[in-house]
């Protein structure tokens, strides 16, 4: 439910950069272009800005508008609405404040509604056939709050509670529907701890992220109780005059349910698609546990464009002991990214796997 890197963190990073990197009267043309793009995509509040949403994979390109208003000296209220080319919809409003005299502790209250009418499911495990593809739709509503705290240097930790309601329905795609409609509610409790030395959550060429998050879903009205643990490790290493970057990610998503009860298929970890295995279709592999290994070699020919060659591999299984790291699903590809110093506006990728070629157009970072 909650954004891992809220907009307020990006605003604070912008302020720090401007305070520590004073520009001389004469500026290079590339720096002027970067500043104009930054002011366009990330204007200082109060402002109306473009919003690309935070949709599940499969939404396609999306565009909307958001409005940001400062609250007090260190608070921010945001409201936004976004629509994708595949009719995915999102509405969100959030209030982010610092209750203390510093920004080390922040409190965020958020209400979010999302409609994803065309999602895909192929069955469980890596042996699921493409011929088993079915479609379904999801509508989710979340209302809650979280607390984020910063320790010394790069340490961060926090948690939150929200009421999450998810309604599944027949899909609107051009393949058969899964044929099951449900309405389920959970109390969603989260806790996380991280070490984050990246320049910015939206774009970086140095540092790393080491994050562990725990989610507890307490079912209401007979819904299953289950937990999910997420381990996300990322490292970015500049080489060769700092305009080549080696980017690495290792991620594991592990679930467990009370008394071995089944977890709804739409709440299970999955890999495949733009941000996991770009050489496969979205949600290609689903099961209780997943492992993902990603690597990229990025070249920065200009301040606003990166080129990348990437290699990705991963797997899913019904238990952690069944995860077979010797039998991974693999893919590779090349891509270009349009970005600023603290955000990624557009990604263009061509990827290949044993299931053929895929072309991805996405917004935001890959990892």
Q: Quick one: tokens of 343?
A: 């955000």
What's the confidence (pLDDT) of residue 211? 98
Task: Give the list of residues 6+ apart from residue 229 with CB closer than 8 angstroms, or none.
Answer: 212, 213, 214, 215, 252, 253, 254, 255
Among 71-80, 227-236, 301-310, 321-330, the range with the most confident prediction by mean pLDDT is 227-236
Residue extents of the structural domains in the chain: 7-362
Q: How many helices (H) and strands (E) does the chain have?
A: 2, 18
CA dist 8 and 2 (Å) reads 13
* Strand 226-239 relative to strand 329-339, pairing: unpaired
Task: Give the list of residues 6+ apart from residue 185 with CB closer than 8 angstroms, or none.
Answer: 163, 164, 165, 166, 219, 220, 221, 223
What's the confidence (pLDDT) of residue 89? 97
What's the confidence (pLDDT) of residue 195? 97
Percentage of the chain beyond pLDDT 90 is 68
pLDDT digits (tens, 9 = 90+) for 44-89: 889 998 888 889 888 988 999 999 999 988 899 999 999 999 999 9
pLDDT band of residue 241 (cuts 50, 70, 90) is confident
- Positive or negative CA dihedral for 344, 332, 272, 248? negative
Q: Is the pLDDT of residue 158 over 90?
A: yes
* CATH entry, 7-362, from 2.40.160.50, 3.40.50.720, 3.30.950.10, 3.30.450.40: 2.40.160.50
pLDDT band of residue 289 (cuts 50, 70, 90) is very high
pLDDT digits (tens, 9 = 90+) for 252-267: 999 999 877 899 999 9
Residues 38/340, Cβ–Cβ less than 8 Å: yes
What's the confidence (pLDDT) of residue 5? 46
pLDDT band of residue 30 (cuts 50, 70, 90) is low
- Average pLDDT taken over every residue of the chain: 90
Which stretches of 122-170 are assigned E, i.e. beta strand?
134-150, 155-170
- Positive or negative CA dihedral for 155, 267, 50, 207? positive
pTM: 0.87
Q: Is the pLDDT of residue 31 over 80?
A: no
Q: Is the pLDDT of residue 18 over 70?
A: no
């Amino acid at each position: 439910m909650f954004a891992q890197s809220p907009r307020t963190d990006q605003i604070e990073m912008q302020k720090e950069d401007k305070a520590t990197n004073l520009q001389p009267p004469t500026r290079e043309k590339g720096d002027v272009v970067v500043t104009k793009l930054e002011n366009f995509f990330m204007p200082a509040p109060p402002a109306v800005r473009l919003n690309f949403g935070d949709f599940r994979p499969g939404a396609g390109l999306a565009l909307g508008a958001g409005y940001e208003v400062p609250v007090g000296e260190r608070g921010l209220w945001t409201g936004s609405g976004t629509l994708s080319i595949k009719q995915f919809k999102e509405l969100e409003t959030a209030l982010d404040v610092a209750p203390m005299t510093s920004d080390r502790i922040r409190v965020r209250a958020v209400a979010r509604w999302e409609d994803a009418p065309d999602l895909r499911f192929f069955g469980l495990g890596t042996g699921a056939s493409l011929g088993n593809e079915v479609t379904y739709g999801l509508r989710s509503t979340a209302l809650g709050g979280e607390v984020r705290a910063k320790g010394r240097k790069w340490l961060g930790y926090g948690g939150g509670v929200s009421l999450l309601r998810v309604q599944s329905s027949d899909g609107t795609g051009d393949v058969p529907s899964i044929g099951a409609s449900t309405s389920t509610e959970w109390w969603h409790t989260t806790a996380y701890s991280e070490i984050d030395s990246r320049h910015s959550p939206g774009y970086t060429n140095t540092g790393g992220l080491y994050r562990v998050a725990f989610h507890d879903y307490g079912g209401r009205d007979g819904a299953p109780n289950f937990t999910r643990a997420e381990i996300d490790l990322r490292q970015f290493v500049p080489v060769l005059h700092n305009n080549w970057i080696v980017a690495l990610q290792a991620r594991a998503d592990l679930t467990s349910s009370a008394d071995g009860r089944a977890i709804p298929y739409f709440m299970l970890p999955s890999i495949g698609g733009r941000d996991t295995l770009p050489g496969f279709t979205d949600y290609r592999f689903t099961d209780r546990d997943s492992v993902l290994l990603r690597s990229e070699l990025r070249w920065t020919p200009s301040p606003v464009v990166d080129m990348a060659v990437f290699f990705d591999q991963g797997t899913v299984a019904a238990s952690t002991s069944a995860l077979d790291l010797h039998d991974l699903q693999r893919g590779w590809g090349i891509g270009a990214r349009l970005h600023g110093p603290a955000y990624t506006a557009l990604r263009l990728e061509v990827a290949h796997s044993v299931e053929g070629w895929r072309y991805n157009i996405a917004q935001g970072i890959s990892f």
